[in-house]
Amino acid sequence: MTWKHRRGGLTVKAFGPAVVASVLFAEGCLAAPAGLTNKTIVLSWSVASVQRLPDGRVVNPLVDIEQTIYVSSAGRLFARTTKTATGRKSQRSETGEMAPGDEKTPDGLSRQLRFAGRRLIGDLEYHSGAGRVTIDFGPDFRSCTMNVVFGRSGGAPIRWKGMDGTIREVISAKVASQTCSIREGNAFAGN
């Protein structure tokens, strides 16, 4: 798998947020930095894409994604992802949650979240290709930035599952409005 991307947008060889949104991460492979424990990381981004449906029709959904990741005092990761897709005639929304140790999507595809120094990396396997979200933290773990990219394997097009359950070929995708913030405490407490 080769990861390619360019700043300001994604090309067919490098894209991904709509799918990354569907899930994201499992329990980290490395220990969480002490500065992140008992904190919540909130990510948001949008993906405008061109997708080919199984019947050959081409659609242009816009997907807004928000992901909340809580790093417990023990360094365990809990995540909730909400995505809302807007098409020409309809709007769909769905929410998914992950607990520590979840390493497969409901479809049996691989997903992983791991720390690498001051960075948190989330990888998600698609039906063809993969997505990656990289979160870089400031020196005091009070700020962060994020970057979403997608990759394909061996020249095959990226294929991911749409919110209607169909497997779609991704012709192009552009990521916009990537934001990352950190706050104290557990955003899921009381939910």
Give the distance, in angstroms, between the CA of residue 169 and the centroid of all CA atoms in the same chain: 18
Q: Is 21 helix (H, G, I), strand (E, B) or coil?
A: helix
Could you write out the three-class secondary structure of 80-110?
Answer: EEEEEEECCCCEEEEEEEECCCCCECCCCCE
Q: What is the pLDDT of residues 12-28, one digit of tens each?
A: 333 333 333 333 333 33
- In eight-state DSSP terms, residue 138 is -
Domain coordinates in residue numbering, the chain: 17-184
Q: What is the pLDDT of residues 130-161, one digit of tens each?
A: 999 999 999 999 999 999 998 988 889 999 99
What contacts 108, CB < 8 A, 6 or more positions away? none
- Asked if residue 25 lies in contact with residue 131, where contact means CB atoms within 8 angstroms, the answer is no
Q: Is 170 helix (H, G, I), strand (E, B) or coil?
A: strand
- Cα separation, 36 vs 137, in Å, equals 9
- Asked if residue 7 lies in contact with residue 137, where contact means CB atoms within 8 angstroms, the answer is no
- In eight-state DSSP terms, residue 31 is P
Q: What is the pLDDT of residues 58-113, one digit of tens each?
A: 999 999 999 999 999 999 999 999 999 876 677 888 888 888 888 888 888 888 88
Q: What is the pLDDT of residues 38-66, one digit of tens each?
A: 999 999 999 999 999 999 999 999 999 99
Amino acid identity of 20? V
Contacts 24+ apart (CB under 8 A), 52-55: 52/168, 52/169, 52/171, 53/162, 53/166, 53/168, 54/166, 54/167, 54/168
Token reading at 37: 């424990």
